C-alpha cells in the first residue's frame, strides 16, 4: 500500500517473485481490459485518464473474478487494492469466503515532491496517459482523501508496517523484506 509513484508495483513484483506469491495488480488488470477493449476497459479508461478511482463495485468484481481463478492456497500480494474503506471491507469478505485473511499491510511512504518527480519521469519513459502534471496532482489528492484513511484502519488491526520508499530500488526492497519478516508474513 502507498501513494501513486511510491514503487508499489515494482516492490510487489519483487516480493512476489522472491516468495513464489501471486502479484495481483488492479492497475495491470484495468490496463489489460483497456488494451483488449473490453466493456470494463471502455468504462474505466476515462476514469483512469482523469486520475480518479474506478468505482468500488467494478473494482471488487474484477478482483473477485481474478480470485476465482486463483488456487485457494496461493499466497497473494495485492498491489493497488484496496484503495477505499468499501474495498477493504470487500477484500475481508472475499478472503473470508476462501478461509483466508489479510496478514500484513506494507505501507511504502515518500514525500509528495518525490512522488511527483517519479510519476513525471514514468510518464515520459512509458508514455502513460494517466501521468500528466494535472492528473498526477489529482491522483495524489485522491490518495490522501480516499486511501490514506485505510492506514488507520489497518494500524488498528496491528497489520501495518511503514517502509521508507526513498532510495535505490534494492534498498527499498531490502527494507520491505525486513518489514515482512518482522511481521511474520509466511513465505
The residues annotated as belonging to the active site are 8, 83, 122, 128, 139
Half-sphere CA count of 175, side-chain side, radius 13 A: 18
Task: Find out whether 9 and 77 touch, Cβ atoms under 8 Å.
Answer: no
The three grid cell numbers given for residue 67, joined into one nine-digit string: 480470485
Query: Residue 135 corresponds to which cell in the numbers above?
Result: 492528473
What length does the chain have?
Answer: 187
Collapsing DSSP to helix, strand or coil, 23 comes out as strand
β-strand partners of 151: none
Question: Cβ neighbours of residue 87 under 8 Å, at least 6 residues apart?
Answer: 56, 59, 60, 81
Continuous segment of H or E residues that includes residue 111: none
Amino acid at each position: 500500500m502507498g501513494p501513486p509513484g511510491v514503487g508499489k508495483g515494482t516492490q510487489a513484483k519483487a516480493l512476489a517473485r522472491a516468495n513464489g506469491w501471486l502479484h495481483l495488480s488492479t492497475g495491470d488488470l484495468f490496463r489489460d481490459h483497456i488494451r483488449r477493449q473490453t466493456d470494463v476497459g471502455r468504462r474505466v479508461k476515462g476514469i483512469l485518464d482523469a486520475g480518479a478511482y474506478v468505482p468500488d463495485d467494478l473494482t471488487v468484481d474484477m478482483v473477485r473474478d481474478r480470485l476465482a481463478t486463483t488456487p485457494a492456497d496461493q499466497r497473494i500480494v495485492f498491489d493497488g487494492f484496496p484503495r477505499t474503506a468499501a474495498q477493504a471491507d470487500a477484500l475481508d469478505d472475499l478472503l473470508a469466503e476462501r478461509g483466508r485473511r489479510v496478514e500484513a499491510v506494507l505501507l511504502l511512504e515518500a514525500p509528495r515532491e518525490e512522488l511527483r518527480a517519479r510519476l513525471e519521469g514514468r510518464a515520459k519513459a512509458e508514455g502513460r496517459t494517466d501521468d500528466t502534471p494535472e492528473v498526477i496532482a489529482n491522483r495524489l489528492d485522491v490518495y490522501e482523501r480516499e486511501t490514506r484513511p485505510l492506514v488507520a484502519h489497518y494500524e488498528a488491526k496491528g497489520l501495518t508496517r511503514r517502509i521508507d520508499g526513498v532510495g535505490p530500488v534494492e534498498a527499498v526492497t531490502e527494507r520491505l523484506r525486513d518489514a515482512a519478516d518482522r511481521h511474520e508474513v509466511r513465505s
